[in-house]
Structure 1
Amino acid sequence: MSILWENILITMLAFGILYWLLNKFAFGKLFAVMEQRRQLVLGQLEDAKNTKEQATIYVEEQKNALDQARKEAYEIIEQSKQSSSKQARDLLEQAKQDATRLKNEAINDIESERNKAVESLRSEIGAFSVNIASKLIEREVENNPAEQEKLVNQYLEEVGNKS
């Protein structure tokens, strides 16, 4: 096998010309496109990193907001329980006061009615007593004229002493 120096020289010359042409017309544009692609990928990676950080921050904020909402809901529930307990106590106290007031009014009404009945009975008993006494005196006076004169004198003495 013999080495053909001419073929090697032509091949090297063709390769050099091809390299020079590629370098002049193709490599610049090709490397520029590759650099743009590299910059685009780096930018997308940076955006993805920022988005991930923002998402992490947002998730933490949402967790904190959810915890805060749970705490507020628990506080509202506790306040509602306390408020309803206070209202129940107030209503119970008001009912007790109303019952006591109604009881006292009923006792006063009963006492008033009792006093009226006693007064009515006294006046009726007084009237009956006067009526009975007058009938007894009438019998005594009719049967005994001396007694009648004695009663008149006694009455006149009492009236005279009062003047």
Structure 2
Amino acid sequence: MLTSSLVLGATAGGLNTGDILFQLIMFLVLLALLKKYAWGPLMGIMKQREEHIAGEIDAAEKSRTEASKLLEEQRELLKQARTEAQGLIENAKKQGDIQRDEIIALARTESDRIRESAKLEIEMQKEQAVAAIREQVATLSVMIASKVIEKELSAADQEKLINDYIVEAGDGK
């Protein structure tokens, strides 16, 4: 009974400082071991993770800034390309208008030249035709006149005509 009263007494009101001290030392040792082997490496890993995440955030921010800058450059280049394309289109239209006007002027000049050439050729053909007709009329007139003269004139009349012609020709000189 005595032993049971000691155990009961220890639990009932007495402090067992040896157990408390042992438990406190064990707790401190456990804390030291946890700090050295668990908490330290865990904090190191957490610090590395924090640095890695901060680096990733910085890299993402740099990438975003660079992408924004590149996007702005691309927009500016696109604007310049559109301006250049518009300028080229306008220049091509002007050149086309100039060439069209030149072609029209050349065609008109050529048309006028061909028209004048045709007029001259027609005039020459007309003159040749008139000359040919005159020649044929003269030949026919001479033939008709000679036929008429042969039939109507006697030998004496022919002689008189020849002499009159000779006199006229002589006076004309």
What TM-score do you get using the length of structure 1 for normalisation? 0.79
Aligned partner of 2:7 in structure 1 is none
Question: Which residue of the other structure, out of 122, 132, 141, is the alignment partner of 1:120?
Answer: 132
Between the aligned partners of 2:81 and 2:141, the Cα distance in structure 1 is: 87
Give a deviation string over 1:68-118, Cα, whole Å, max 9, x none: 221122122212222322232122122212221221122012101110111
Q: Does 1:27 align with 2:39?
A: yes
Between the aligned partners of 2:38 and 2:70, the Cα distance in structure 1 is: 47
TM-align CA RMSD: 2.8
Residue segments in structure 2 that go unaligned for 5+ positions in a row:
1-11
* 2:82 aligned counterpart, secondary structure: helix
Between the aligned partners of 2:14 and 2:151, the Cα distance in structure 1 is: 189
Aligned partner of 1:48 in structure 2 is 60
Q: Does 1:150 align with 2:160?
A: yes
Larger Rg: 2
* 1:150 aligned counterpart, secondary structure: helix
Which stretch shifts more, 4-13 or 27-36?
4-13
Instruction: State the identity %.
Output: 34
Q: Does 1:75 align with 2:87?
A: yes
Which stretch shifts more, 109-118 or 86-95?
86-95
Runs of 4+ in structure 1 displaced over 6 angstroms? Answer: 158-163
Count of aligned residue pairs for this structure pair: 161
Q: CA deviation at 1:135?
A: 4.5
* 1:28 aligned partner, one-letter code: G
Q: CA deviation at 1:161?
A: 8.1
Q: CA deviation at 1:5?
A: 7.2
Residue segments in structure 1 that go unaligned for 5+ positions in a row:
none
* 2:132 aligned partner, one-letter code: S
Q: CA deviation at 1:14?
A: 2.8
| Greater RCO structure (CA 8 Å; 6+ sep) | 1
* 1:67 aligned counterpart, secondary structure: helix
Between the aligned partners of 2:39 and 2:30, the Cα distance in structure 1 is: 11
Between the aligned partners of 1:122 and 1:42, the Cα distance in structure 2 is: 117
Which stretch shifts more, 22-31 or 125-134?
125-134
Q: Sort the Cα spacing of 1:101 and 1:45 in 2 relative to 1 into closer, same or farther, 3 A.
A: same
